[in-house]
Amino acid sequence: MLLSLCMIVKNEEKVLGRCLDSVKGLVDEIIVVDTGSEDRTKDIARQYTRHVYDFEWVNDFAAARNESLRHATGQWILVMDADEYAAPGQQETLRKKLSGIKPNQPLGVLVKIMNFHGANGEHIHESSGPRLFTNRQGIRYREPIHEQLTSPKGEITYVADSFTLVHTGYTVQAVAEKNKGQRNMVILQSMESESKLRDPYFCFVLGNEYYNTGDLERTYSYYKKAMEQVDRSAAGWYDHLLNNISQTALKTGRFREAHQYISEGKQLWPDRVDYHCLEGTLYEGFGFYQRAEQAFQECLRIVDRSQATGKAYWLIEESYGQRVPREKLAGIAKKRGDLQQMVYHLTALLKLDRQSFASLRTLLRTLAAHDSTDSVQTFMSRMYPLSDPKNAYIMLRVSLLEGLGELAGVYWNACQEHRVPLTYEDELAFCILQKKEAQLLSDKQIESPLALLASFVYSDSRYAALASDQNGLLDKLIRQLSESGAEEQAASRSSDEYALLTQLIVQLLQYGYSGEYEQLVNRFADEELLHRLAEQLNALGYENIAVELYSILLDNNLLRGEGYKELGSYCFLNGNPQKGLQFMVEAVQLAPSIKMLGLVLENSKGLDTSEFMLQFSKWVKLDEIPMHTVELLTK
């Protein structure tokens, strides 16, 4: 017998069948050790093998895995988790390779593992692991978690292979359902001791678990312990440690340390995109958009060169090659007012991922503001052909969200032709956008913002009763919107009321109700509302209107730090660096941020920036960000 599959499982009924189907024709024997399933896991396993065994869980993965190995009779052992599956088309190749190897010493095979992360598995990173090994040299697992292989017959020799497993257990839903983080943390904390903290790998995996809990300070602390002790040349996981500590240093504001780690990564792997992308992220965080752009463009060049030669372009994160750089480059282009480059990168993003709805919204909004409806529809149909009913609905939804009336009409008709079932919310939003009468259906539920918009546009408070979130907030706002409620003071408004009122006013502008927009701004304008409106409108591409609102606040001595920063950026963009610098000096005193540094220094060439740097330096010291970090990036 050539190959045995060994697994440990618990409550894996949703994924076990997929896993076992993927190894048909690959393995000769399946060993399943169950550690306490309460669902149909064992029943499913028995459809594939008679080797299903119970094992009492003792908070020790190594013990459970070794129990599965004990039953294996093949010359080789393949270890998989239930949330993994073998990529198709590689069974015959692997079996031929294994058949030709006759090892006389412990031998393991490092296979590729493609890990899917995110809400829908939209992020991928590649790792490797010793999932294949010989069965005759006493190879067993040690360590209760993140278990490692060992053999009494000496050091295990490892060879790499292209055989690939796909792992879906890191998606948001999968992690939540299995509560992996809490389980792993309990085991690791029970193991923690002075001797274990002298093990760099233990510190690394403990840092990983703290990262999953969101405790970035502890994460960095354990990664740092691992870095201080690790043998960089011997540790097969050092590439992951360096990537993780670089990202954590960035997220915790340890910019000098991040720069050191990123520089090391660039030296070790100059032809991979990972550390060029992280370098761009570092520069972007300081507002040095020109330097960031160079780093992100280098990522794209590496991808082009690698694809031409058939080589891998990433080390850990595939997204560092195109998705992240293009997202960043699109954002930088927007800040510079370079709409052509912004559209170019957004289009490239959507070619990579048609489900990137944030990019789709931004692209459609930008195109609609500068081109005819026919031109936009023709352009978008290349990526979202209306022959597909799903595309027709996606484009209708985005058009409704962005308040694009003519485009919504095109996509509405396409949905009608395909008989796409539309929701009552879709129909109501379309009627409001087209300024048509709507039918009030009392048995339907709609989101609160749409309920408020319909109540105001149609002067009918009954729409508020359709809101799915009935907490009294809508009724209060509707009273304020009515003549009888006009005398209510802004001081009585909660943050949630401001948020809903702001969204209503923004939607009125988006949907073409400019008179009603001005009416509500004039009636309800106060410091808080104007700041919220300016912020949202600026983000949605209404920069000129946002600047008008910020200017009103400025004239009344009510402008906050973020407003000064936006006015400064606007002046830099529109050829008035002197005025922009003046606004930035005010901004850094009221609401300082790291990004102001690059914004000022890249846009104030030839101007006296000493006052800004003085104020910035005061804040840097107060916030305990080492001044040498600033000096490092301003050289």
CATH number of 1-188: 3.90.550.10
3-state secondary structure of 23: coil
The rounded radius of gyration (Å) of the Cα atoms in the chain is 29
What is the SS3 assignment for 71-105?
CCCCCEEEECCCCEEECCCCHHHHHHHHHCCCCCC
**Any alpha helices (H) in 100-159, and if so which ranges?**
none
CA 399 – CA 125 distance, rounded (Å): 33
Q: Which token pair is 555?
A: 């004239």
* Count of other CB atoms within 10 angstroms of residue 210: 21
**Residue 76 forms beta bridges with which residues?**
3, 134
Contact present, 219 and 245 (Cβ < 8 Å): no
**Residue 116 forms beta bridges with which residues?**
124
Domain segments of the chain as ranges = 1-188, 356-422
Distances (CA, A) of 278 to 116, 249, 329, 508, 591: 20, 11, 14, 40, 26
pLDDT at 170: 53
**Residue 78 forms beta bridges with which residues?**
5, 132
3-state secondary structure of 252: coil
Q: How many helices (H) and strands (E) does the chain have?
A: 30, 10
Contact present, 364 and 407 (Cβ < 8 Å): yes
pLDDT at 477: 85
| Pairing label, strands 52-54, 107-118 | unpaired
Judged on CB neighbours under 10 Å (0-12, 13-18, 19+), 165 is: buried
Which of 188, 211, 213 is closest to 201 using CA atoms?
188
Contact present, 107 and 134 (Cβ < 8 Å): yes
**pTM of the predicted model as reported, rounded to 2 decimal places:** 0.75
CA 374 – CA 467 distance, rounded (Å): 36
Which of 68, 58, 49, 50 is closest to 9 using CA atoms?
68
Kind plus residue range of the DSSP H or E element containing 395: helix 389-402
Contacts of 406 (CB under 8 A, 6+ apart): 373
Contact present, 272 and 254 (Cβ < 8 Å): no
Kind plus residue range of the DSSP H or E element containing 107: strand 107-118
Which of 434, 438, 464, 462 is closest to 449 using CA atoms?
464
Contact present, 107 and 139 (Cβ < 8 Å): no
pLDDT at 87: 86
CA 363 – CA 380 distance, rounded (Å): 9
CA 495 – CA 98 distance, rounded (Å): 64
pLDDT at 77: 96
Judged on CB neighbours under 10 Å (0-12, 13-18, 19+), 442 is: exposed
pLDDT at 591: 95
pLDDT at 516: 95
Which of 542, 535, 551, 449 is closest to 500 using CA atoms?
449
* DSSP one-letter code for 388: S
3-state secondary structure of 487: coil
Distances (CA, A) of 211 to 189, 204, 217: 14, 11, 9
CA 13 – CA 16 distance, rounded (Å): 6
b/e per residue 244-254 (b: at least 16 CB within 10 A): bbbbbbbeebb
User: Phi and psi at residue 108, in whole multiples of 5°?
Assistant: -125, 155
CA 241 – CA 232 distance, rounded (Å): 10
Strand (E) positions, 121-267? Answer: 123-134, 140-142, 148-150, 157-171
Task: Tell me how long the chain is.
Answer: 635
Q: Which residues of the chain have pLDDT under 70?
A: 117-125, 145-146, 169-196, 234-235, 470-471, 483-491, 621-635
